[in-house]
Amino acid sequence: MNAPFIDLSVHHRPKGLSDRIAYGFTKALRWTADTFFAERYGHRAVVLETVAAVPGMVGATINHLHCLRRMCDDKGWIRTLMDEAENERMHLMTFIEISHPTLFERAVIIGVQWVFYCFFFALYLISSKTAHRVVGYFEEEAVISYTHYLREIDEGRSENVPAPQLAKDYWGLPEDARLRDVVLVVRADEAHHRDVNHGFANELAGLPEAHAAPCPPHQELQPKWKQAA
């Protein structure tokens, strides 16, 4: 399959204090990731995807409880955010098979996940608009990182290994798919999440919603009991 075209130039220019805080926080985390991982993009993906899978689940949980209290419709937010969390988790499961995180990286994942979950949960309660803007900026940086990863593969600095079977099943990739094919669809996923979260933030701010980049088709995950039925 061909990954959908994505616009690499998309960037939401910060407007107001909330956006500037979100953008500054994102840039600080980007500097930390660049310092810690340098150009080890596979290992970077493993650690950062554990963080990227948190916001969708936090947002879905808080919106679910909010709708129960208010007895109102969620406008499709809950399902969208849960799908995002699941999609990011599949990114993680894919890159684990490619990069094989070390014990130290696994320890870092545990610590970072707890800290970030608590931080993001509190941020979402204080300002859901800022929280979604943070995710939008996170995803902008993810698109940049995966674009750099593609260049590393194309220039021979990262081996273009065969794609894991899990990735081929999830995204419907051909049997001869390679790492480059995986990075292309993952980058397209991140571009979709980028636009959706900026759109959510815009909606909460009363701003026009931008067009969202298409999400690559992928397999709907089913529990084992349902598959056996």
The domain that holds 198 is classified in CATH as: 1.20.1260.140
Cβ atoms of 79 and 137 within 8 Å: the answer is no
Residue 38 falls in which region: left (phi positive, over 0), alpha (psi -120 to 50) or beta: left
In a domain, 8, yes or no: no
Is position 91 within any domain? yes
Residue 81 located in a structural domain = yes
pTM, 2 dp: 0.90
The answer to whether residue 25 sits within a structural domain is: yes
Query: Residue 44 is part of which domain span?
Result: 16-213
Q: Name beta bridge partners: 178.
A: 162
- Please check whether residue 138 is in contact with residue 59, taking contact to mean a CB–CB distance below 8 angstroms: no
For residue 141, tell me if it sits in a domain: yes
How many distinct structural domains can be found in the chain? 1
78 vs 64: CA distance, rounded Å: 6
In a domain, 191, yes or no: yes
- Structural domain contains residue 6: no
Q: What is the structure's pLDDT at 38?
A: 65
What is the distance between the alpha carbons of residues 226 and 98, in angstroms, rounded to a whole number? 29
Residue 223 lies in a domain: no
- The pLDDT value given to residue 77: 93
* Per-residue confidence in pLDDT tens, the chain, 229 aa: 566 778 888 889 998 999 999 999 999 988 877 777 666 777 778 778 888 899 999 999 999 999 999 999 998 999 999 999 999 999 999 998 888 888 887 888 888 889 999 999 999 999 999 999 999 999 999 999 899 999 999 998 889 999 999 999 999 999 999 999 999 999 999 999 999 999 999 999 888 877 888 888 888 777 766 665 5
